[in-house]
Structure 1
Amino acid sequence: MLSTIIVDAAGDRHFLPCSGVLIHRRLVITAGHCVCLPRMPEPGDVPAPAVSLSYVGPLRPQLTRAGELRDVALRSILDKKSPCARTTLVTASRYKRTKGGVPGAETTEHYDSEILIHPQFEVVNGERGGRIETVWASADFAAILLKKPVEFELTPLELPTQEVTTGADITLVGYGPGDSPKYLGERQLGESHITQLLRLETGSVIFKAEEQSLPDGGVTASAASGDSGGPVVIKTRPGVLVGITSVGAKTRNGRKVSIFMSAYSHREWLNEVLQRADKS
């Protein structure tokens, strides 16, 4: 769990509670928007006219920034120009069962850390059709490099060797309470499946999971506040990190939709920060 406090230019303190995942004893991966504050749009942020979409392969149509921001009134942007934290409080927990079979957690806190933002990180919020929503999200990743490794033994999640596919069953993990009576900070798991896979012109791949009814009358899990940066794994391969939670929103018909950043499409950067964790 990440607890980030950022003081803005006016001196106001902002608390950003988020989730994350250990992929190394000294490295936590989370969402970029978990450690940065939005800034006001500038004239240069207005996109050029939309270009034609290309249709090549199963991950098309390719989404362009200009196309996605067409007819949108920009409200705020998070990117490398935004005020971002230099460090954050990481609370690392290792979950296990006691001798009596009761779930328990071994917890430690790390105050001293360094934040590395993905160089292509950008999240744009705007108004379209009377609604303010996230209209563009690319490379929504941040790495938290711990100055000291976590004390307990663990098996970090591995990086994927291939992209996820539409229809795959996934498990999402996070500390957000969502619609449950649980508190922020109590880990929750939920199952869903991928309904759409999209490639952005930046090279980022995002995948979505729209809320759907289950045979037992329930609904699939959806991302909620506090879940951002939490891990997503394929249900049948829980030891491999396929993505992280980026955005939780609603569709035009009112259904919840969760948007995830693909780990595979950002594997080069993830391997770079892994190497840095090894060297440090």
Structure 2
Amino acid sequence: MIFLLGLALLRGRVGDREAWHCGAVLIHPRYVLTAGHCVRDPNIPNLSLLGVRLGELNLTTNPDCQLGLCSSVVDVGVEQILVHPEYNRACLACHDLALVRLSRAIENLLPQIYPICLPLDPEGELGGSTDALHNSRDWGWIAGWGSVSGDPFNAQLPTVLQKAQVPLTPTPFCDALQQRYPDPSSTLCAGGEGPFTCKGDSGGPLMIDNRMRTRWYVLGITSKGPRVCGAPNTQTLFTNVHHHLSWILSNLRP
């Protein structure tokens, strides 16, 4: 079940206003992975991260139960925020990635909450490189609590976690987006038909299974999408997790 994969919500503050503003995903008992702009947005200089919530499905109930499995939410403080050192340097939203170290370890909570796998060996684990997956695998999964309205001026935030399959095949729209990046392979695209990411989904994962569905992997972290969510012939741009593995792994500690 997708909601058991360590999906997280980030709670932030801007001035006197607090809100669940981004998604994230648990990759280690002490770390969630999210987008750089979810913790340090140049357009919101007074943004501060207050905490991380795991095990959430329905924001209006606790615990949440589905198919006989129940999950109580876990709210955790933030010990450290690590933004990718090249974030926003070579281009706007380049290397849009951050690690958030939790104030305590999230463990012994199976089956409700567990980390998603990093794509350490895509060819062995998933049957191809991350580039090849766009040609060999048709679909990935997105999930989050972002707006379900395509109108950028009228966000409609759901109370229940939304999840959907999206096509992985890049389109000309993706090619145009990636041309703005000095290293296009640092990003990947998905979507373009049907469900879409929108305001509030930033930082959430693009996921894929190992066909047998014994393990799930995070391929990308939601970075940016079109101005009008779900507009025809558009796609969402994700930060490529495999491309940034060396930075991620070098910053994880017990």
TM over 0.5: yes
User: In the alignment, which of 31, 51, 54 is matched to residue 92 of structure 1?
Assistant: 54
Q: Specify every segment of 5 or more residues in structure 1 that has no aligned partner in the other structure, as ranges.
A: 40-77, 125-134, 213-218
Q: Kindly, what percent of the aligned residue pairs are identical?
A: 26
Structure 2 gaps, min length 5: 1-8, 58-62, 123-128
Q: 1:6 to 1:179 in 2, by over 3 A?
A: closer
State the secondary structure of the residue aligned to 1:172: strand
Picking from 137, 140, 152, the partner of 2:93 is: 137
Whether the 8 Å contact between 1:30 and 1:143 is mirrored in structure 2 is: yes
The CA deviation string for residues 244-276 of structure 1, in whole angstroms up to 9 with x for no partner, is 11112158x9424211111000001110222x2
| Partner in structure 1 of residue 41 of structure 2 | 37
Q: Which residue of 2 aligns with 1:50?
A: none
Deviation at 1:203, TM superposition (A): 7.1
Do the aligned partners of 1:123 and 1:140 also contact (CA within 8 Å) in 2? no
Task: Specify which of 17, 24, 48 is matched with residue 21 of structure 2.
Answer: 17
Q: Whole-Å Cα distance in 1 between the matches of residues 21 and 96 of structure 2?
A: 16
Residue number among 231, 247, 257 corresponding to 2:224 in the alignment:
247
Contact between 2:12 and 2:47, CA under 8 Å: does it hold in 1? no
Select the structure of larger CA radius of gyration: 1
| Greater helix share, structure number | 2
After superposition, what is the alpha-carbon deviation per residue over 1:172-214, rounded to whole angstroms, capped at 9, x for unaligned? 11121423998445211110112327584357521112422xx
Indicate the residue corresponding to 2:208 in structure 1.
234
Q: Distance in 2 between matches of 1:246 and 1:6?
A: 20
- C-alpha distance 137-34 of structure 1, shift in aligned 2 (>3 A): same
1:26–1:145 contact (8 Å) kept in structure 2: yes
Residue 89 of structure 1: how far off its partner (Å): 1.2
Q: In proportion to residue count, which structure has more strand?
A: 1
- Residues 210, 107 of structure 1: CA spacing in aligned structure 2 closer, same or farther, 3 A cutoff? closer
Aligned residues: 211
Q: What is the SS of the residue equivalent to 2:163? A: strand
Q: TM-score, normalised by structure 1?
A: 0.64
C-alpha RMSD of the superposition: 3.4
- Cα 1:262–1:105 change in 2 (3 A) is same
Question: Are the structure 2 counterparts of residues 272 and 262 from structure 1 closer, same or farther at C-alpha, using a change threshold of 3 Å?
Answer: same
Contact 1:16 1:34 in 2 (8 A): no
